[in-house]
Amino acid sequence: MKKGDVICPECSAGFRRLQLDSRRGTPGAFRCPLCDHVLEMLDGTAEVAYRLTVAPEKLFE
């Protein structure tokens, strides 16, 4: 399993990214659920999951 952090360049939301190479995933794109910016194109070779960890400041204004 690989772990990492990703920050959306559009809205600055922070995500935890988990990749499990032992399972096949679904090809497609992962988009930021807050601003719809494409964060990663997925080819389906591994299972990838994202979890929002830091909401952008503009949500609290």
Number of domains in the chain: 1
Query: What are 21-37's pLDDT values in tens digits?
Result: 999 999 999 999 999 99
Q: Which whole-number Å values give the CA distances from 4 to 20, 58, 59, 61, in the listed order? A: 12, 24, 24, 28
The residue segments making up the domain with residue 55 are 2-60
Query: What are 4-23's pLDDT values in tens digits?
Result: 999 999 999 999 999 999 99
Pair of tokens at residue 56 = 């952008």
Whether pLDDT at 57 is above 80? no
Look at the block and give the residue holding tokens 């559009």: 10
